Chains A and B, each alone.
Chain A
């Protein structure tokens, strides 16, 4: 299979599995487990947002949690003032997108390098965290919504059916909505990446100068992908606020930002499915660590991050893909040569070309 077909095959497979899970899980799981799965889906959307801008746009954002938190707070504040949840839901996507656009303008049009990008996004996260964290007094409120400072905002009204304020979504409905959002985000990004715009975005990641010389405004494309990433992270934030009917400044925090990066690194940079796998694995691991006292979760997460950067820099999914690919080629070769007998079954391995032929550049 060539690279193009392979990438579509994997996308189709992922979507098929996703749709099967969407309709299958509510049948086999009780509500409690379904709520657990919903949070994995929320975090997966967040992971995919960074996977897109980092893995395909080449923008290392250390502050993806800023947009996540912004989406969450926007929804909470808007829904407490408006009652009906339709407009707040949209605002939770638009506001982080606008914020990302503003920040992206400063960064890309200031021609700051990747490395500065990381530090600035980190700084912005800290600013937002500090600001929200210091709004604990009763005088800090927007409309009828108290900001709550480090206590967060409790009792956020959850999503209702558009226009019908009393028809609040059940946990099962929220699962459907969240999971559908995840699938739509995945599908949308897949299509975008395959489109002309997506090709320019990826090309700008590989060699920005060449893209500029070909007549494209690389900064504009980067700004677009960064803004889109912010919008998706905002959507995840909104769903997060709905999941627990609660939001607090910790979702802006460094720990949250670090986690998203770890999901992407562990799952595989340059793929969209990898970060979902990484997200589910790490979230599961973190909750397991939380139930016992022997290890500190920071210790384990930090260890995982160092080990992956040093030893498995491509992440789980691409590495597994390579292994499967290699096994497949070996098997084919063995099968092709089998009748001749002259060559033993253990044919020499393919040259390293096989490694380079997959989705990412290292």
Chain B
């Protein structure tokens, strides 16, 4: 019984971390159709922002929930203005340019912070379930993922901002005719996506070591999740995270973490062969 509970927590945690890792990408790729291969590096910047904030003496929670998203959001705005803006509609070129940006960011951070692993210790300690102990921070991750999903849904469906953003993505000309500046909407959306990536990086900083090259570990997972999810941003994100996270965690239990990750990626490729449009291309059509 205790074991079942712990397994459940671990599976939920795996799903939740996929949601968190992929949320920023779901906004940038799912809404704007911009292939952001620098997604992992945005997360890395978020993690470094947390470390920098801690060094200044800020509280850990403020560093994660305020400093990391804002810092990376600002970076996002700058990069959108300088590079991404010139490439809208040229998907392959965006892909190459953002890969260039990712190398550039890794290079800059390595030059500044050095190629060493920095660490943040996980807060909240742990509590015990029967003979097992569960880290309290695991529960934070799960809670944040739930909150994030609710917040995305709320913003997109219930606020004017979300309505304008969705409308602009569908028909920029029409939005323009109605007096909305598409270029500003793109800019803001990209910044929001970047901020979400930064938040993800900050949240995961206590769990993974913080190194300049850490982004590479996340980018494939995030992409596979978003692509596996299909056209509906939120339903796809949740569906794919649920499926892949569960496969990952269960395979990890049976074998090793490396094989768990391999199982995730193989499952994703097999699924894309069967459902090329992703989960929401076939099921939950028309949902958000």
In the complex, are the beta carbons of A306 and B100 less than 8 A apart?
A: yes
Q: Which residues of chain B in 89-125 are interfacial with respect to chain A, using CB atoms and an 8 Å cutoff?
A: 91-93, 95-97, 99-108, 110-111
Q: Which residues of B contact A106 (CB under 8 A)?
A: 269-270, 272-273
Closest residue of B by beta carbon distance from A113:
B276
Using a Cβ–Cβ cut-off of 8 Å, how many residues does chain A contribute to the interface with B? 40
Interface stretch, picked from A44-52, A180-188, A297-305, is A297-305
Question: Known contacts A298-B103, A299-B108; is A120 also within 8 Å of B96 by CB?
Answer: no
Bound Cα distance A301, B103 (Å): 7
Bound Cα distance A302, B41 (Å): 13
Bound Cα distance A130, B101 (Å): 24
**CB of A118, distance to nearest CB on chain B (Å):** 6
Closest residue of B by beta carbon distance from A293:
B111
Bound Cα distance A126, B35 (Å): 18
Contact of B97 among A114, A116, A258, A309 (CB under 8 A): A309
In the complex, are the beta carbons of A119 and B220 less than 8 A apart?
A: yes
**Is there a chain B Cβ closer than 8 Å to A296's Cβ?**
yes
In the complex, are the beta carbons of B93 and A309 less than 8 A apart?
A: yes
Closest residue of B by beta carbon distance from A105:
B273
Closest residue of A by beta carbon distance from B83:
A306
In the complex, are the beta carbons of B101 and A306 less than 8 A apart?
A: yes
Interface stretch, picked from B131-139, B154-162, B180-188, B255-263, is B255-263
**CB of B267, distance to nearest CB on chain A (Å):** 11
Most buried by A among B87, B103, B106, B223: B103
Question: Known contacts A299-B103, A302-B103; is A122 also within 8 Å of B96 by CB?
Answer: no
Bound Cα distance A110, B275 (Å): 8
Contact of B83 among A118, A127, A299, A310 (CB under 8 A): A310
Contact of B276 among A111, A258, A296 (CB under 8 A): A111
Render A207-234 as a binary contact track against B, CB cut-off 8 A, 1 for contact.
0000000000000000000000000000
**Is there a chain A Cβ closer than 8 Å to B216's Cβ?**
yes
Q: Which residues of A contact B93 (CB under 8 A)?
A: 309, 313
In the complex, are the beta carbons of B95 and A123 less than 8 A apart?
A: no
Bound Cα distance A343, B243 (Å): 73
**CB of A264, distance to nearest CB on chain B (Å):** 10
**CB of B269, distance to nearest CB on chain A (Å):** 6
Bound Cα distance A111, B92 (Å): 17
In the complex, are the beta carbons of A303 and B104 less than 8 A apart?
A: yes
Q: Which residues of A contact B104 (CB under 8 A)?
A: 298-299, 302-303, 306
Q: Which residues of A contact B246 (CB under 8 A)?
A: none
**CB of B104, distance to nearest CB on chain A (Å):** 3
**Is there a chain B Cβ closer than 8 Å to A265's Cβ?**
yes
Q: Which residues of B contact A302 (CB under 8 A)?
A: 99-107
In the complex, are the beta carbons of B223 and A123 less than 8 A apart?
A: yes
Render B257-287 as a binary contact track against A, CB cut-off 8 A, 1 for contact.
0100110011011101110100000000000
Q: Which residues of B contact A313 (CB under 8 A)?
A: 93
In the complex, are the beta carbons of A115 and B95 less than 8 A apart?
A: yes
Q: Which residues of B contact A296 (CB under 8 A)?
A: 106-108, 110-111
**CB of A104, distance to nearest CB on chain B (Å):** 12
In the complex, are the beta carbons of B258 and A134 less than 8 A apart?
A: yes
**Is there a chain B Cβ closer than 8 Å to A254's Cβ?**
yes
Q: Which residues of B contact A131 (CB under 8 A)?
A: 258, 262
**Is there a chain A Cβ closer than 8 Å to B205's Cβ?**
no
**Is there a chain B Cβ closer than 8 Å to A112's Cβ?**
yes
**Is there a chain A Cβ closer than 8 Å to B224's Cβ?**
yes
In the complex, are the beta carbons of A305 and B99 less than 8 A apart?
A: yes
**CB of A333, distance to nearest CB on chain B (Å):** 34
**CB of A237, distance to nearest CB on chain B (Å):** 21
**CB of B57, distance to nearest CB on chain A (Å):** 29
Contact of A130 among B102, B108, B261, B274 (CB under 8 A): B261
Render A257-295 as a binary contact track against B, CB cut-off 8 A, 1 for contact.
010010001000000000000000000000000000001
Closest residue of A by beta carbon distance from B35:
A115
Q: Which residues of chain A in 77-119 are interfacial with respect to chain B, using CB atoms and an 8 Å cutoff?
A: 106, 109-112, 114-116, 118-119
Q: Which residues of B contact A111 (CB under 8 A)?
A: 276
**Is there a chain B Cβ closer than 8 Å to A60's Cβ?**
yes
In the complex, are the beta carbons of B103 and A258 less than 8 A apart?
A: yes
Binding site for A on B (CB under 8 A): 35, 83, 86-87, 91-93, 95-97, 99-108, 110-111, 216, 219-220, 223-224, 227, 256, 258, 261-262, 265-266, 268-270, 272-274, 276
Known: A109-B273, A305-B97. 7 other contacts (CB 8 A): A110-B272, A110-B273, A115-B35, A123-B269, A254-B216, A298-B107, A304-B100
List 13 contacting pairs A-B, 8 Å CB cutoff, sorted by A. A112-B272, A122-B219, A123-B220, A123-B224, A123-B268, A127-B262, A295-B111, A296-B110, A297-B107, A299-B107, A302-B103, A303-B100, A309-B87
